[in-house]
Amino acid sequence: MTGYTGKSIRIDLSEGVWDIFETPPELCEKYIGGRGFGVALIREHITKPFDSEDMPIIFASGPLVGTSAPTSGRLSVVSRSPLTSTVFDCSVGGRFATELKRAGFDMLIISGLSREWVTIDIQDGNISIKDAGGLYGRNVEETAAILGDDGSTAIIGRAGERGVRFASIVFDGHYLAGRGGLGAVMGAKRLKAIKIRGTGEVKVADPGALKKAREEIMRLLRASPAVFGEFGLSEFGTAALVDLIHARRMEPTENFRKSVFPKSGQYSGYSMKTAYHTKKKGCRGCPILCKKVGRAGEVMPEFETVSHFGALNGNSDLQSIVEANRLCNDYGLDTITTASTIACYSEFSGKRLSPEELLRHVVLIGERQGIGDALSEGSRRFAESKGVPELSMTVKGLELPAYDPRGAYGMALSYVTSNRGGCHLRAYPISYEILRKPVAVDRFSFVGKARMVKISEDINTVIDSLTACKFVFFAASLEEYAKAINAVTAREYDVQSLVRAGERTWLLERHLNTLNGFSRKDDDLPERFFRDAGYSDENVTIPPIRRKDFDDTLDRYYRIRGYDEEGRVTEEDERAD
């Protein structure tokens, strides 16, 4: 079968052994790859604690990885989150997935708990588990320098070693499996790093058809203002959104107490480009190159990071934001949760932190020192421990990203329906509520949003399973990607069969969360959004969300999804397709 190598690796760190097994063909057919693979394979272990011997962490590529299909060199990392306790996947860029495929493998599944700190080294078919030696205790930059830049690396910093619940895994220096604390899962296994190199080729069934599909996708990308426009992601990176979200008055400010920050222009995409003379960089096989790197090699923060270390903490100092981003990447910390937890602490303590204090708190969290030890549990656990749970701006324990839900009701709904907690990337309603793609919809209305969010979730789930980048879908659609996957695999997918694969994975995720006790009680926004208004002026009014409308829409969503009234999915329901 082309598009897949047909082989995957399973490593048991408890025993220090590994084996190679056939990638199940029915898994490829039903779950496509990436997120779908990971979620399907974690099923039997999901009720175990994240740091148990049996809990795997799964690195899964997709069928388009290693081919010329645009933006398809991504990887999904799947396990159970130390932060949210939900099933959790991260879509990651960089080169790891391509090296994995070229080494001859679709997936890498790691379980067990090593007694000593180790690294995994894969070079084509040669797999070894090595003593981490002097790597333990080092942060990501140092570790990466020691491991070298031939091939691809996945590394945890001191945050992952010390079990910070929102520790990330850093790929190739600055591509992150950022959210949910999967770095702490690696840390629990005493797995410091993975290095992988591959020299094989990925076979494509019909190169001519793939070339044609690629041309269609590229034509659409070039026609997209959000991607290749003068103010698009290719030009300014995701920080291009700073000005727009500010203009829409949905900019989370001071722990979501306000929805506009007057000084955000000081860290906009334009300001970063001007101040740091940024160049374009990006994932393997990506034409968009949304990553921005300064002249001196500084990695520019993404939109969520810049906004949360900026407006959310009342900070307009660009230099400190860039440095906070560097520290998070070096310690291996999720920037969104780090910044949001600090904002929560700031509100609790009644003190806005200076730029210097902000940076010091990032270090304290990474080191689990002083107040950083309590904050390393994430804002929900911290706020609950202080008796002020309402100050944690989370859903299912995952800190909300940089779109105030009062400014986009599809986003509000999708925050709570997300299977991994407060995340903007599951349904990605920003696409149609703010960026007007594929068409614009009324952002202040719940009309039609229940089904809109449901369909978007299914589509984005299969995009993660194809391991394509969501940004490309500001321009192209599954219509073009169906052609690409068919050209690669010689299968006959169409848009609807792909979307069904996404729905299948989604329902399985929800079922796995049901097994872990999640239900309607967990599908809710912080009360602040129903109680307090956002910014208003003569042009726009941001009222609190009407609770009744929100609840009604959530009810509709459940019925459309086929959940029960408590939002649960039984095994029977999940297998119904």
Partner 1 sequence: MIPLTGITESGAMTRRGELQKKMKELIDKYADKLVSQGLAKGSEILSLAIDEEIYSNTTSDLHFISLQALKEVFGLMNINSLLFAVPEEPRRSIIRALLRYGLSELPDYRAIIPEDCETRTFFHDIPVIDSPDPQKIAHVLSERKSAVVETGTAIVSYGTISPEQAFISYSSACFSTFVKYFHDHLIYLETCKKNNLKPDRERINGFDRIKAFLYPQQAGLEDSGSLHQLLKGPPEDEAMVYSMMVEAGKRLVTERLVDSFFGNMSSYFDSRIYISETAASLDELEGCIDAVPVDGSSSVGITSSSEFATHRAIYRMTPFRFILHGHPKFSVIMSMHCLKECHLRGQCYKACPEKRYVCGVPVVPGEVGTGPTGMVRTVPEAFKESDAAIVYGHGIFTAAEEDFNRPFQRMKEIEENCEKEYFRIVGELMQEVSTC
Q: Enumerate binding residues for partner 1 (CB under 8 A).
A: 216, 218-220, 222-226, 228-232, 235-236, 240-244, 247, 265, 268-270, 432, 434-441, 445-448, 450-452, 455-456, 458-459, 479, 482, 494-497, 499-500, 503, 548-549, 552, 555-556, 559-560, 562, 576
By C-beta, is 434 or 466 nearer to partner 1? 434
Distance, CA of 561 to CA of 569 (rounded, Å): 9
By C-beta, is 334 or 458 nearer to partner 1? 458
By C-beta, is 222 or 531 nearer to partner 1? 222
Query: Minimum distance from CB of 477 to partner 1 (Å)?
Result: 9
Query: Minimum distance from CB of 193 to partner 1 (Å)?
Result: 36
Is the Cβ–Cβ distance between 442 and 548 less than 8 Å? no
Collect all residues with Cβ–Cβ distance below 8 Å to 412 and sequence separation of at least 6.
405, 406, 525, 529, 545, 550
Using a 10 angstrom Cβ sphere, with 0-12 exposed, 13-18 middle and 19 or more buried, the burial of residue 518 is buried
Query: Minimum distance from CB of 79 to partner 1 (Å)?
Result: 28
Query: Minimum distance from CB of 118 to partner 1 (Å)?
Result: 44
Query: Minimum distance from CB of 27 to partner 1 (Å)?
Result: 22
Query: Minimum distance from CB of 499 to partner 1 (Å)?
Result: 5
Distance, CA of 365 to CA of 371 (rounded, Å): 8
By C-beta, is 497 or 516 nearer to partner 1? 497
Query: Minimum distance from CB of 561 to partner 1 (Å)?
Result: 10
By C-beta, is 99 or 458 nearer to partner 1? 458
By C-beta, is 167 or 501 nearer to partner 1? 501
Is the Cβ–Cβ distance between 465 and 35 less than 8 Å? yes
The string of DSSP letters for 107-176 reads EEEEES--SS-EEEEEETTEEEEEE-GGGTT--HHHHHHHH-SSSEEEE--HHHHTT-TTB-EEETTTEE
DSSP-based three-state secondary structure for 92: strand
By C-beta, is 354 or 496 nearer to partner 1? 496
Eight-class DSSP state of 311: G
> Whose CA is closest to 63, among 15, 30, 109, 111?
30
Using a 10 angstrom Cβ sphere, with 0-12 exposed, 13-18 middle and 19 or more buried, the burial of residue 277 is exposed
By C-beta, is 124 or 555 nearer to partner 1? 555
By C-beta, is 100 or 244 nearer to partner 1? 244
> Whose CA is closest to 37, among 100, 86, 79?
79
Query: Minimum distance from CB of 466 to partner 1 (Å)?
Result: 16
By C-beta, is 65 or 321 nearer to partner 1? 321
> Whose CA is closest to 307, among 348, 351, 345, 258?
258
> Whose CA is closest to 33, among 78, 70, 83, 71?
78
Query: Minimum distance from CB of 575 to partner 1 (Å)?
Result: 14
Q: Which helix (H) or strand (E) holds 25?
A: helix 25-31
Query: Minimum distance from CB of 143 to partner 1 (Å)?
Result: 35
By C-beta, is 23 or 264 nearer to partner 1? 264
Distance, CA of 123 to CA of 199 (rounded, Å): 8
Q: How many CB atoms lie within 10 A of CB 482?
A: 21
Distance, CA of 35 to CA of 62 (rounded, Å): 9
Query: Minimum distance from CB of 294 to partner 1 (Å)?
Result: 18
Collect all residues with Cβ–Cβ distance below 8 Å to 539 and sequence separation of at least 6.
none
Eight-class DSSP state of 427: T
Is the Cβ–Cβ distance between 8 and 107 less than 8 Å? yes
Query: Minimum distance from CB of 134 to partner 1 (Å)?
Result: 44
By C-beta, is 236 or 261 nearer to partner 1? 236
By C-beta, is 206 or 367 nearer to partner 1? 206
Query: Minimum distance from CB of 551 to partner 1 (Å)?
Result: 8
Query: Minimum distance from CB of 267 to partner 1 (Å)?
Result: 12
Largest separation between any pair of C-alpha atoms in the chain = 66
Using a 10 angstrom Cβ sphere, with 0-12 exposed, 13-18 middle and 19 or more buried, the burial of residue 53 is middle
Is the Cβ–Cβ distance between 129 and 120 less than 8 Å? yes
Length of the chain: 577
Give the Cα-Cα-Cα angle 344, 386, 354 (nearest 5 degrees): 35
By C-beta, is 199 or 541 nearer to partner 1? 541
Token code pair at residue 203: 């076979």
